[in-house]
Structure 1
Amino acid sequence: MDEIHRLSELLIANQRYEEQKHQRFHDDLAQWNASIDALYEQVEIWLKPLVDAGQTAFEYEPHLAQSKGYPDENSPFRTRRMGFYVGAHTVSFVPDAMGAKGQVSISVSGLSLHGQEKYSLHLDAGSRDWMLKKTVGVKDAEPLAFTADYFGKLLQGVVPQRQV
């Protein structure tokens, strides 16, 4: 009977561990979604003068991000993608993967000779700042802080430069 009692204790401990793991997963998921919402809110604040001038508007649509453990429609990573236009060019923010190693891709149409520049954003674990890294056309690009000035300069690349 001692071994049956021991088995019962092991099952109870295992159940507690699984419940804690499940709770940690959902806490991390909520934190990741909050960080995406905060990112989108920050971009909206940066571009508010353009929205107020009628030069752009934000659009949101549901998105199912994935990870190695959840590669299909059963993914619990339900979020949204954000898009807007700069002139005739589309800018999209798409959460690719969620969690500690998650990222948000930014694509900007018309920014390069290829017609599409791609960047990724990663949260810097130490400072909780978003770091931007070019992902197409550059080998091992250094991540840079994602700031209003840097983003504004990046978006200026899609606007034709004309002398006034």
Structure 2
Amino acid sequence: MDDVQQLGEMLRHYAESEVHKKQLFESQSAEWATRIGELFDQIQQWLAPVLAPHLLEVSREAYVASGPSAPVETSTFKTEKLSILIAGKPVDFVPDVMGVGGLISVAVTGFTGARVGSVSLVCLPPATSWQWRKTNGLKDPDTFAFDANFLAQQLQSLIPRDRS
């Protein structure tokens, strides 16, 4: 095989791998958006029995996830964010750009009392369960299974206590 033929062969392999990468990215992106929608549907179902105007409200709005690798102007990660207003305190579930291997993470704001730290929900397909991750500084994150009771406990912590 001469160098020109080898160049042609290399280009063909490259084109095939790029098509494969694009297809994989598109299928993972679709899964990412579907899983976030299902998570938000589930949270709304869990909280439906206790919704009350001005006490507990849930809303969703269109959102484009962005990050260093996907600026908001060109991001293909179109989804929604979910907001909970409980006793006047906002809690937002904001999707991050899809990570390596289809990693799905949702930043959760409104819970961290410490100056450093964050809370997120994480799901790494093919797993279907979500985990609540609380990080604080450099130590390993605290990880909990995320379900209706766990969410309820977290939201209870935001309700002011009567100190009388």
Q: TM-score range by the shorter chain?
A: 0.7 to 0.9
Any conservation in 1 of the 2:118–2:134 contact (CA below 8 Å)? yes
**Greater than 4 Å deviation, 4+ residue runs:** none
Alpha-carbon offset, residue 18 of structure 1: 1.0
Give the aligned CA root-mean-square deviation in angstroms. Answer: 2.9
In the other structure, the counterpart of 1:82 is 82
- The 1:10/1:141 distance shift into structure 2, 3 A limit, reads closer
The answer (yes or no) to whether the contact 1:62–1:79 under 8 Å persists in 2 is yes
Segments of structure 1 that go 5 or more residues without pairing to the other structure are: none
DSSP 3-state at the match of 2:37: helix
Of 108, 111, 131, which aligns to 2:110?
Answer: 108
The secondary structure found in structure 1 opposite 2:42 is: helix
Q: Which amino acid aligns with 1:8?
A: G
* Alignment-mate amino acid for residue 107 of structure 1: T
Pairs within 5 Å for 1:58-137: 58-99=58-99, 100-108=102-110, 112=113, 118-125=118-125, 127-136=127-136
In structure 2, the partner of 1:158 is: 158
Rounded to whole Å, the distance in 1 between the matches of 2:21 and 2:146 is 32
What is the aligned residue count?
Answer: 160
Q: Contact 1:64–1:73 (CA<8 Å) still a contact in 2?
A: no
Distance 1:8 1:126 in 2: 37
Read off the aligned partner of 1:82 and give its amino acid letter: L
Q: Give the gaps of 5 or more residues in structure 2.
A: none
Task: Note if contact 2:103-2:125 (Cα within 8 Å) is conserved in structure 1.
Answer: no
Verify the 8 A CA contact 2:123 2:130 in the aligned structure 1. yes
Which is worse superposed, 64-73 or 16-25? 64-73
DSSP 3-state at the match of 1:154: helix
